[in-house]
Amino acid sequence: MLNETQQQIYNWYISAQRRNNDKPFRYRRDFSKFNEEKYLPSLIKIEKTFEKYPHLRRQEFFDAPFQVHTKEKDQYYSLESYATQKALMTCIAYFKLLDQQKPDEQLEYIKESLRFVTNFCIEHKLFLYQYVQYKSVAQNDCLKHLKNHQISWYLVLVLPGFLSLIQAMPLDEFSLYFGEEIDINHLITAWAGSRVTRQFLEKKVREIDQFLIQKNLENNRITK
């Protein structure tokens, strides 16, 4: 019987194959008659990849080949293809593409980024303004999240203190950490030209800020 992670991997895979071909899909709930002989070896390999690179354990890993390669009608990728080194490199290439997209082109990525930050703050009992300041080791965790493509670069422009932290980094340190492709001025210009995503993100950040305030106040009352 598949474990919970393997079931999630399979559902992400099916979702990518259907959505990226503009077809409806439904997550599989019942795995009692699942063809383990055919699919389990690949699921185990992909699961091990996610154990080694936990920041890749997400839907975008399976969307990557559809976005990186020239899209053709009814384009499908086998589950076995995701269990290869090529799939890993394709995923990294896709994340680099996401970094360069305009805000309105990466709305879903931004939504996932907000969920990630919210869950991170809940886990570490942080207010939103403390997220950028938080360090589990020597470096601010938010910089690691950016480097690992766990959050969109457009969050830098709306989360408290994030842009100041980035702009204070020495140029050589910034390039070493994030590479040469990221242009903050380009991001700011693209952000200024966005309407739908900018309004959505600014509104959601305010909502998350209030949610985390309430959450932390409740936690403080419980611990007293």
DSSP code string of 152-185: -GGGGGTSTTHHHHHHTS-HHHHHHHH-SS--HH
pLDDT (average), residues 17-42? 92
CA dist 74 and 18 (Å) reads 9
**Residue 78 near residue 41, CB atoms below 8 Å:** no
The pLDDT assigned to 54 comes to 87
Spatial separation of the C-alpha atoms in residues 130 and 183, rounded to whole Å: 25
Kindly give, in sequence order, each residue whose CB lies less than 8 Å from that of residue 188, ignoring residues fewer than 6 positions away.
157
Q: Residue 37: its pLDDT value, please?
A: 93
Instruction: Report whether pLDDT(25) > 80.
Output: yes
Q: How far apart are CA 120 and CA 13, in angstroms?
A: 25
What's the half-sphere exposure (Cβ side, CA atoms, 13 Å) at 19? 16
Q: Looking at residue 57, what is its pLDDT?
A: 86
pLDDT digits (tens, 9 = 90+) for 138-166: 889 999 999 999 999 999 999 999 999 99
Mean pLDDT in residue range 29-48:
94
| Residues 51-109 pLDDT 10s | 999 888 888 899 999 988 876 667 899 999 999 999 999 998 998 888 888 999 888 88
User: Does 39 score more than 80 pLDDT?
Assistant: yes
**CB distance 156 to 146 below 8 Å:** yes
- pLDDT greater than 80 at residue 224: no
Give residue-wise pLDDT tens across range 111-136.
999 999 999 999 999 999 999 999 99
Question: What is the average per-residue pLDDT within 17-28?
Answer: 90
Whether the per-residue pLDDT at 196 is higher than 80: the answer is yes
CA dihedral 21, 98, 152, 148 (to 10 degrees): 100
Quickly state the pLDDT bin for 222 (edges 50, 70, 90): low
C-beta separation of 167 from 184 below 8 A: yes
Judge residue 15's burial from the number of C-beta atoms within 10 Å of its C-beta, 0-12 exposed, 13-18 middle, 19 or more buried: middle
